[in-house]
Amino acid sequence: MAEHKLVIIGGGPAGLSAAVAAVDAGLAPEDILVLERDSEPGGILNQCIHAGFGLHRFGEELTGPEYSGRYIAMARERGIPILCNAMVLSLTDDRRVTFVSPETGYTTIQAEAVILAMGCRERTRGALSIPGTRPSGVYTAGCAQRYINIEGYMPGHRVVILGSGDIGLIMARRMTLEGAKVLAVCEIMPYSGGLARNIVQCLDDFGIPLKLSHTVVQIHGRDRVEGVTVAAVDEANGRRPIPGTEEYFACDTLLLSVGLIPENELTRGAGIDLDRMTNGASVNQFRETSAPGVYACGNVLHVHDLVDYVSEEADTAGRAAAARILGNAAPVVRSVKLTTGHGVRYTVPERIDLAEEPEDVRIFFRVSDVYKKVRLVIETGTGEILVNRAKSAVAPGEMESLTIPASKLAQVLRSGEEEILVKLTETEGR
Amino acid sequence: MLYDVLIIGAGCTGVMTARLLSAKNVKVAVAEAGPDVATGATAANSAIVHAGYDAKPGTLKAQLNVRGNRLMKELCAALGVECKNVGSHVIGFGEGDLPMLEELLARGRANGIPDLEIIGQDRLRAMEPNVSPEATHSLWAPTAAITCPYGITIAAAENAVTNGVDFYFHFRVTDASRAGDIHYITNGTETLAARYVVNCAGVHSAEVAAILGENDFPITITPRRGEYFILDKAVGGLAHSTLFVCPSDRGKGILVSPTVDGNLIVGPNAYPIGDSDDRSTTAEGLAEITAGARRIMPDIPMNMAITSFAGVRSTPNQYDFYLKASDQIPGVIHAVGVESPGFASSPATAEYLVGLLEEAGLALTDKPDYIPTRRRDGNHIQWNRLSEKEKAAKCRENPAYGKIVCRCETVTEGDLLDMLDAPIPAVTIDMMKKRLRAGMGRCQGGFCSPRVAALIAERTGHGLDEINKSGPGSWLVTKREEA
Amino acid sequence: MTTKELTCVVCPAGCRITVTLNDAGAIESIEGYTCQRGKTYAANEVTHPVRTLTSTVPVTTAQGKKMLPVRTDAGIPREKLFEAMKIVRATEAKAPVRTGDVLIADFIEPGTNLIACKDFD
């Protein structure tokens, strides 16, 4: 069986950043293989032609292709091999990777380290069980985005969008600029999941109505979508449609932006532990999963809002994978579990593996609701405060992070604490 | 061109009949209103090859289901279509259901079905650990099987085309006339001439009978819709065989079954509808089949549904299939009111209809150069069903098989190209979907359908805006507006 | 006198800012901001809102026609977005193209260019 020191599954921003970081941490580029299933690297950013990427990472406002273009250039400069049109079919927890590509055929390789960077897929109409007919013209927002930005065709002309997440908002603007009429964006929650900036620049700018606490209850049309029925939902009754509030929109296209699901079929197949809240692998601060030598980063680990944080996370994974291969990873003395308290939906990492001399650990997390005037708190199981930060506003759609300083972690190591809690406290009524 | 036989309807009944005739020295055509074979009830049913105990002894349903069960398995093997002999349980909830189970057992024995038995709770639970604790007995039928109903219909159609049958799609019969013993069947623009006509038009078969000239036709069709969920392959193992509840006068009821591809199928309900072409699902219907599924398997994870759909049954105003030569019009054979067990029976129903044609005067002699496979050069098994060694070899032989297009179902570019080259070329999203399962996975085509559409467009010399999802009018995209 | 209300998008706080303009269209007062960036954003947004335009144009390459992502390298007046799109839709490119290449100079505004966002050989 062929061997490879580091195999990276996915050549999008996460995979490429990880590859670059691994080389910069001392791994030889020829010891790396990036496997990318599309015909070119760059991942989903290739079709995210809008701007807003790289503000933190590069101090510039770049479009998606420009952002991944930077990492493609960095990877090429370092001579990192990227195999395109390559699909990984299976992974084992002892790092055997089976993949297929037109160039190399059907192959299994044994890796010393694997980085999972497969990104995510979109939730579908089928998963929502939206009743009605099954005409053409029902697309996930990302699929429509591919048609328009990669293939150069219009997915439709009169559009209703379900879901006010960023992809739906971005597509509302994109379609409008290309001459389509976007009739409404419906959002089942009482608040939008997208960035405020996108509400302004994608909806308000074009007078597109945002219907909060609304959903699509039926799709009409025999061959192509002819219309959708929209209804208000009862927030106090399981968000069920309220009879009598139905409204019909004649349209030829329904776009769905109703959630992203990390693509962890390979991860599951390898028997690696997943976190139910993120739908991604459960990891330590180096992004190592429950399978030694298998790391995860980017959207496959948890759905990010900013690709800048994806690159940061991928750096961590790339450096850790390199350290493992080069034999200079610090031995783990004790593991501490991270738990979520009031107002916090999940944390990444889910555990911290403490070395003799711990380093700062940055915790990423999402809150479970919209809150104003809170304190974000990280404390030990016995109530010792590690971090306490005031914030004027937090929302589920905007990932938060806090750094636990090395000194505090050293204390935790000495004290024998087994658990660290991340929570928020409300300093004012909502 | 004068055909010996024109079959109206390319569902399982019409296609199986065409296939049998393709082995004889007769010229056969199939006229189908839809864009492909198997676009009606054949593509939207429970996919079960019923054992045959349900049908009343002495009826055509019984005779043809029992024989069809055996023939279907042979046909699937001959054409390289998967068929799994998983067996089925009719579950009884308490002593009150025992009389019905015993009735079905008696029917089954009268119909000649082997190895039927009523089993108790312990054995049932050992075989099906996830079944409701309220389930006390079941009628176990080991000869029931599952397959892909449109898959085997497509395979049979390809086999028929390979042996000279002509298929006319987008051919909705609007009028018919006769001159002597030649029938002229038209869709308004094109007319086909044939000596014999077989009406296999499914939910429209009574309408077609009227068009063919039947007065006071004894059969009326009530379209009855049934809705289904498909659950993710991750939970496909929750049922090992098909799980029924006791049948009622509305039919076999809501079932839970594994599918031949490893998913779980749940459904159908049954209620009459006005428009026989209306295949909508409804919130109430989906709730109804969810409740039905939970009765059989209380912990069934319905949040793992990946899609839902509906099919429409051709329910006749009599118990049995209506398979008869016309009393009024010489040369016309009717297959009307073919609802459950229509699919399971179809290979046997085809034999029966061929028999009726012979009785009506059609002389049938064997074709010496009959090709028993889907294509001249064999059955073309798709890449993901090959062994590891075969997969590797195929990739070496043709790099197109090394390029995965549908990642959820592992469909390669080589497979797609193969289907563009098939006896019935797959030129729409749904045709590729039905043949290869591209788009039937968890992402429901979100990743692959633009790529599949682009490949079809490129290879057929069309723009992406000319590729359809299914029939005409189901456009995917349009050109961007000129400035 | 006119008052305009807007939500600041500079940070997640989303302050509601009220800007009052006199009859000549000049700013009289700005209220509701909690930081300087918000004040600047509100002032600009109300008097001359600008947007970065992003879109795609067909590019002819050796492998056939592909889509080239493009953007303006500075904000253009929000009210000129559709006028700008008309020009974009009539634009085509030819490989080789490099990220940053100017496709149209002085696009809508003097000094603002429409630039390529991807490399094509």
Chosen domain end from A198, A228, A258:
A258
Instruction: Name the DSSP class of C97.
Output: B
- In this structure, the answer to whether residues A307 and A336 fall within a common structural domain is no
Question: To the nearest whole percent, how much of chain C has pLDDT over 90?
Answer: 69
- In this structure, the answer to whether residues A20 and A116 fall within a common structural domain is yes
> Cα dist. B16→B33, B69, B158, B433 in Å?
17, 14, 11, 21
d(C-alpha A144, C-alpha A172), whole Å: 11
Please say if the pLDDT value at position B447 is more than 70.
yes
- The ipTM (two decimal places) reads 0.95
Helix, strand, coil % over all residues of chain A, rounded to 5: 25, 40, 35
Is C91 an 8 Å CB contact of chain A? no
Amino acid C12: pLDDT: 61
- In this structure, the answer to whether residues A117 and A264 fall within a common structural domain is yes
Q: Is residue C102 part of a domain?
A: yes
Whether C67 sits inside 8 A of A65 (CB atoms) is no
* Angle at B145 (CA atoms; ends B139, B146), nearest 5 degrees: 125
- In this structure, the answer to whether residues C105 and C66 fall within a common structural domain is yes
- In this structure, the answer to whether residues C62 and C39 fall within a common structural domain is no
- In this structure, the answer to whether residues A156 and A177 fall within a common structural domain is yes
The CATH number linked to C99 is 3.10.530.10
* Containing structural domain, residue A242: 124-258
Q: Is the domain covering B383-466 a CATH 1.10.3470 domain?
A: no
Q: Which helix (H) or strand (E) holds B386?
A: none
User: Which residue is closest to C99 within chain A, CA to CA?
Assistant: A66
Whether C14 sits inside 8 A of A51 (CB atoms) is no
User: Which residue is closest to A62 within chain C, CA to CA?
Assistant: C117
Q: Tell me if A355 sits within 8 A of A332, measured CB to CB.
A: yes
10 Å CB burial of residue C29 (0-12, 13-18, 19+) is exposed
Question: Do the domains B1-82+145-220+317-379 and B88-142+222-312 sit in the same CATH topology, yes or no?
Answer: no
d(C-alpha C67, C-alpha B1), whole Å: 48
* Angle at B261 (CA atoms; ends B348, A132), nearest 5 degrees: 90
Pair of tokens at residue A201: 């620049």
Amino acid B280: pLDDT: 97
Residues of A in contact with C71 (CB under 8 A): 49, 51, 63
- In this structure, the answer to whether residues A50 and A155 fall within a common structural domain is no
Residues of B in contact with C86 (CB under 8 A): 483
Whether C87 sits inside 8 A of B483 (CB atoms) is yes
- Beta strands B242-245 and A247-250 are unpaired
- In this structure, the answer to whether residues A231 and A286 fall within a common structural domain is no
* Containing structural domain, residue C84: 54-116
- In this structure, the answer to whether residues C59 and C38 fall within a common structural domain is no
Mark which residues 451-480 of B lie under 8 Å from C by CB: 480
Interface test with B, best of C57, C67, C89 (most B CBs within 10 A): C89
Amino acid A31: pLDDT: 96
* Angle at A314 (CA atoms; ends A310, A319), nearest 5 degrees: 155
Q: Is residue C14 part of a domain?
A: yes
d(C-alpha B410, C-alpha A98), whole Å: 13
- What are the start-end ranges of the E strands in B291-436? 305-316, 322-325, 332-336, 404-406, 411-412
Q: Is residue C74 part of a domain?
A: yes
Is B207 in a helix, a strand, or coil? helix
Chosen domain end from A233, A258, A283:
A258
Amino acid B250: pLDDT: 80
Chosen domain end from C10, C31, C47:
C47
Please say if the pLDDT value at position B240 is more than 80.
yes
d(C-alpha C13, C-alpha B369), whole Å: 79
Q: For chain C, what is the radius of gyration of the CA atoms?
A: 19
pLDDT in tens, A145-194: 999 999 999 999 999 999 999 999 999 999 999 999 999 999 999 988 88
The CATH number linked to A229 is 3.50.50.60
Q: Tell me if B401 sits within 8 A of B416, measured CB to CB.
A: no
Mark which residues 18-37 of C lie under 8 Å from A by CB: 34
Instruction: Name the DSSP class of A289.
Output: -
* Residue C98 φ/ψ, nearest 5 degrees: -125, 145
Please say if the pLDDT value at position B483 is more than 70.
no
Whether B402 sits inside 8 A of A134 (CB atoms) is no
Looking at every residue in chain B, the average pLDDT score rounds to: 97
User: Which residue is closest to C64 within chain B, CA to CA?
Assistant: B458
The partner residue sitting opposite C58, judged by closest CB among A61, A152, A200, is A152
Q: Which residues lie closer than 8 Å to A180 by C-beta, 6 or more apart? A: A154, A156, A157, A158, A159, A253
Amino acid B482: pLDDT: 65
What is the nearest CA distance from A188 to chain B, expressed in angstroms? 17
Residues of C in contact with A177 (CB under 8 A): 53, 55, 81-82, 85
- In this structure, the answer to whether residues C31 and C73 fall within a common structural domain is no
**C-alpha count within 13 angstroms, C-beta hemisphere, residue B122:** 0
Question: To the nearest whole percent, how much of chain B has pLDDT over 70?
Answer: 100
Q: Which residues lie closer than 8 Å to B31 by C-beta, 6 or more apart? A: B6, B7, B8, B9, B168, B171, B173, B185, B187, B192
Q: Is residue C121 part of a domain?
A: no
Residue type, B96: G
- In this structure, the answer to whether residues C66 and C41 fall within a common structural domain is no
**Ramachandran quadrant class, A343 (left: phi over 0; alpha: psi -120 to 50; beta: rest):** left
- In this structure, the answer to whether residues C109 and C63 fall within a common structural domain is yes
d(C-alpha B139, C-alpha A102), whole Å: 50
Amino acid B301: pLDDT: 97
Give the mean pLDDT of C45-72.
95
Amino acid C8: pLDDT: 83
Q: Identify the chains in contact with B, defined as 3+ C-beta pairs within 8 A.
A: A, C
Q: Tell me if A101 sits within 8 A of A85, measured CB to CB.
A: yes
- CATH fit for domain B88-142+222-312, picks 2.30.130.60, 3.30.9.10, 3.40.50.300, 3.30.1300.10: 3.30.9.10
Amino acid A430: pLDDT: 52
Chosen domain end from A224, A258, A292:
A258
Please say if the pLDDT value at position B115 is more than 90.
yes
- In this structure, the answer to whether residues C65 and C42 fall within a common structural domain is no
Amino acid A55: pLDDT: 86
Amino acid A56: pLDDT: 87
Q: What residue spans define the domains of chain B?
A: 1-82+145-220+317-379, 88-142+222-312, 383-466
d(C-alpha B108, C-alpha B279), whole Å: 33
Q: Is the domain covering B1-82+145-220+317-379 a CATH 3.50.50.60 domain?
A: yes
The partner residue sitting opposite B473, judged by closest CB among A89, A224, A241, is A224
* Count of the separate structural domains present in chain C: 2
d(C-alpha B304, C-alpha A273), whole Å: 19
Residues of C in contact with B481 (CB under 8 A): 89
Give the mean pLDDT of B404-421.
96
Amino acid A427: pLDDT: 85
Is B197 in a helix, a strand, or coil? strand
- What are the start-end ranges of the E strands in B127-181? 137-141, 145-147, 166-168, 175-179
Is B170 an 8 Å CB contact of chain A? no
Residues in chain A predicted with pLDDT less than 70, given as ranges, are 429-430
Interface test with A, best of C5, C8, C60, C117 (most A CBs within 10 A): C117
Look up B380 and say whether it is catalytic.
no
**Ramachandran quadrant class, A168 (left: phi over 0; alpha: psi -120 to 50; beta: rest):** alpha
Is C52 an 8 Å CB contact of chain A? yes
Q: Which helix (H) or strand (E) holds C120?
A: none
Residues of A in contact with B403 (CB under 8 A): 85, 101-102
Is A272 in a helix, a strand, or coil? coil
Residues of A in contact with B282 (CB under 8 A): 131
* Count of the separate structural domains present in chain A: 3
Amino acid B157: pLDDT: 98
User: Which residue is closest to B479 within chain C, CA to CA?
Assistant: C89
- In this structure, the answer to whether residues C79 and C110 fall within a common structural domain is yes
- In this structure, the answer to whether residues A38 and A163 fall within a common structural domain is no
Whether A50 sits inside 8 A of C54 (CB atoms) is yes
Whether B480 sits inside 8 A of C89 (CB atoms) is yes
Task: Report the candidate in B347, B445, B354, B459 with the shortest Cα–Cα distance to residue B413.
Answer: B459
Is C82 in a helix, a strand, or coil? helix
pLDDT in tens, A224-281: 999 999 999 999 999 999 999 999 999 999 999 999 999 999 999 999 999 999 999 9
What is the nearest CA distance from A270 to chain B, expressed in angstroms? 14
Task: Report the candidate in B428, B445, B475 with the shortest Cα–Cα distance to residue B169.
Answer: B428
Q: Is residue C62 part of a domain?
A: yes
Give B62 or C12, the one with higher predicted confidence. B62
Residues of A in contact with B229 (CB under 8 A): 129
pTM score of the predicted model? 0.95
pLDDT in tens, B279-331: 999 999 999 999 999 999 999 999 999 999 999 999 999 999 999 999 999 99
Whether C90 sits inside 8 A of B483 (CB atoms) is yes
> Cα dist. C7→A31, A200, B471, C12, C117 in Å?
50, 8, 47, 10, 30
Whether B306 sits inside 8 A of A127 (CB atoms) is yes
Question: Using 50, 70 and 90 to split pLDDT, how confident is the model at C13?
Answer: low
Amino acid C14: pLDDT: 73
Pair of tokens at residue C12: 């997640």
Residue type, B88: S
Amino acid B237: pLDDT: 97
